Chain A
Amino acid sequence: MITYIIRRLLWTIPMLLGITLISFFIIHLAPGKPSAIEQSLNPRVSLEVRERLEKLYGLDKPLITQYFEWIRRIFVLDFGRSFTDNRPVLEKIIDRLGVTLTINVSSLILILVGGAVIGIKSALKPGRLFDSAATFMVFFAFAVPTFWLALLLMQLVSIQLGWLPISGIVSLDYEYFSPWWKFLDICRHLVLPVFVSSIGGLAGVSRYMRSSLLDVLKQPYMLAAKAKGLSQRQLIYGHALRNALLPIVTIVGLSLPAMLGGSVIFESIFALPGVGRLFYEAVMSRDYPLIMAEVVLGAVLTMIGNLLADISYAAVDPRIKYKKA
């Protein structure tokens, strides 16, 4: 187990190098210098901004030197200052992190619990009404453009029925609420975003749970457990479920980049002040330091997520570490 973890950890070094290399490549993708583009696209960009860009990326030095300079600063978490308000980029991101984390953690919980419940119910009676209905819904969930679903729900639930606020994270008169009402107010604002951002994951996890449980139920050890005289309840919850839940760990790790990417769209539609919307704003105003910081941090976060998923998977399933080591 220890060797497996060490091997996996060592792999992160070339991975990190690769992530920074690709990100670095993107800044230099533009024909000519990024500073030149900045100026040609927007004549209002002053000479000062241009100089700042050149200094930030050390554009007068050779590419290799530029790359290592950049990496050195990233490793001490210095991502430079934002072009729009001159605040440190990292500080801006941390300010916005709370909203994104709240939404993504809530939808992750909804996805795991909801997906597991739907998947288990489907697998226990395959082909019956509930299973068919779930299959049908999953098919739609995979095909529906989520931002369109968001627009439809805003129209229906927020405008026509007036049940939930249409966008933003708090109401206008939030300041005057009691603490309890403040909490409730935020929750009301988060219902639609959390629901919409969970749709894809809910469909995926419930499908995965279904096939995984069906698979386990066919195993010889389940027959043995049945022969031992265990009740249906003990069979499912004591033996089958544990094994069927294993692959879900990996799914969660793999779904991280999609969740982060999706937050760009959801937070823009619902006007939520999270890192996704920050990224969108950065792209619109061509705030390069902020764009690069979010791309690198997003990728590193995903890498760490995958690493944790792999390790915890190996921890709960001893078969893995022998196969991979």
Chain B
Amino acid sequence: MIIANKQLFSGLLIISLFTLIAVLAPWLTRYDPSAIDQAGLLVPPSASHWLGTDSLGRDLMCRIIYGARISLAIGLIAVGIATLIGVAIGAVAGFYSGWPDTLLMRFADIMLCFPTFFLILAVAAILEPSITAIMVIIGLTSWMGTARLVRGEILSLRNQEFIQAAHAIGASHARIIIRHLLPNAIGPVLVSATLGIAGAILLESGLSFLGLGVQPPTPSWGNILIESKSTLGVAWWITVFPGLAILVVIIGFNLIAEGLKKEMGYE
């Protein structure tokens, strides 16, 4: 079934591969991501350094492999936070309607007014940039889509007979929401979370590229690219490979999302 769905299959393949790379990082490379090698600065891709080295002589492939850990972890956890908030807010708004609905959805509207990058940078300017801070900031600023989605889903099911039946046998509101309503929203939430991971990885890379995300020497795909500004025209590999890693992973998540949509029968 999964193999028949080409998009889902190839997406899962790409993401499993990168997850494996991230998990097995120390066994995949014989270099240390922050080991400086004065003798081998800006070495082009070769037999000993497959993807070349940077201006401090650090092995680029090794840094990209370790960067996969950071980028994937940030994507997953940030979206985990966003999904939890989004589902909770959407469920309450959809189930109770009336003023809680108005209040919560207007709050989402207001949050959507802020240019995400402005909001994230403003917070990053105040807090010390750290990996945890980035996960939390991205999570707190990207729950709105999920909230709207869940609210819509619950709103359309709220008055159906099986929910009335649940009310009639005396099920608590929390039970009705968690056991009866939310399982129906899993599909769309899963799709938006998958797309969300891609978005979060892109955000993190942009943030780190501007120097306000993951701080060197910890490698992330975004902050490896900082150096490409000064090595433009000198060391093409520093620009090409980290970006390629981001591109392929984003494609992977987008493929999974497309495949899931198809699998669940809505386009």
List A residues at the B interface (Cβ < 8 Å): 14-15, 18-19, 22, 26-27, 29-30, 34, 37, 139-140, 142-145, 147-149, 151-152, 154-155, 159-160, 166, 256-258, 260-262, 264-265, 268-269, 279-280, 282-284, 286, 291-292, 294-295, 298-300, 302-303, 306
Contact = CB atoms under 8 A, between A and B. Distances in A.
B220 interface: no
Contact of B114 (A30, A257, A269): A257
Contact of A294 (B118, B205, B229): B118
B117 A302 contact: no
A260 B242 CA distance: 26
Contacts, number: 140
B202 A279 contact: no
22 contacts: A22-B111, A30-B126, A37-B126, A143-B250, A143-B251, A145-B205, A145-B246, A148-B239, A152-B240, A155-B232, A257-B112, A258-B116, A261-B118, A264-B210, A265-B117, A268-B210, A279-B118, A283-B121, A294-B118, A295-B119, A300-B113, A302-B114
Which residue, B109, B125, B206, has most C-beta atoms of chain A within 10 A?
B125
Given A22-B110, A155-B236, 5 more contacts: A18-B110, A143-B254, A145-B202, A261-B118, A283-B122
Interface in B236-254: 236, 239-240, 242-243, 246-247, 250-251, 254
Nearest to B251: A143
Contacts of A258: 115-116
B229 A148 contact: no
Given A265-B210, A269-B229, A257 B240 contact: no
A47 B73 CA distance: 41
A268 B229 CA distance: 11
Given A155-B232, A264-B117, A286 B125 contact: yes
A159 B113 contact: no
A257 B113 contact: yes
B225 interface: yes
A113 B130 CA distance: 42
Interface in B211-267: 211-212, 225, 228-229, 232-233, 236, 239-240, 242-243, 246-247, 250-251, 254
Which residue, B112, B117, B124, B211, has most C-beta atoms of chain A within 10 A?
B117
Nearest to B246: A145
Contacts of B205: 145, 147-148
A308 to B, nearest CB: 13
A144 B245 CA distance: 10
Interface in B94-115: 106-107, 109-115
Which residue, A148, A279, A299, has most C-beta atoms of chain B within 10 A?
A148
Interface in B192-215: 198, 202, 205-206, 209-212
Contacts of B125: 282-284, 286, 291
B243 A18 contact: no
A116 to B, nearest CB: 22
A143 to B, nearest CB: 4
A30 B106 contact: no
B127 interface: yes
Contact of A15 (B109, B117, B118, B251): B109
Contacts of A19: 110, 113-114
B246 A148 contact: yes
A214 B181 CA distance: 33
A225 to B, nearest CB: 26
Nearest to B212: A283
Contacts of B115: 256-258, 260-261, 298-299, 302
B56 interface: no
Pairs A-B, 9 closest by C-beta atoms? A261-B117, A148-B243, A261-B115, A18-B110, A143-B250, A257-B115, A159-B233, A260-B115, A283-B125
Size category, B interface: 35 or more
Contacts of B228: 151
A265 B113 CA distance: 19
B114 A295 contact: yes
Contacts of A18: 106-107, 110
A139 B233 CA distance: 28
B114 A15 contact: no
A154 B240 CA distance: 12
B196 to A, nearest CB: 14
Contacts of A34: 126
Given A15-B109, A261-B118, A151 B239 contact: yes
Nearest to A21: B110
A50 B236 CA distance: 45
B123 interface: yes
B110 A15 contact: yes
Nearest to A41: B128
A261 B110 contact: no
Contacts of B239: 148, 151-152, 155
B117 A29 contact: no
Which residue, A14, A143, A152, has most C-beta atoms of chain B within 10 A?
A143
Nearest to A38: B126
A49 to B, nearest CB: 16
Contact of B124 (A22, A149, A283): A283
A195 B125 CA distance: 29
B247 A143 contact: yes
A279 B106 CA distance: 27
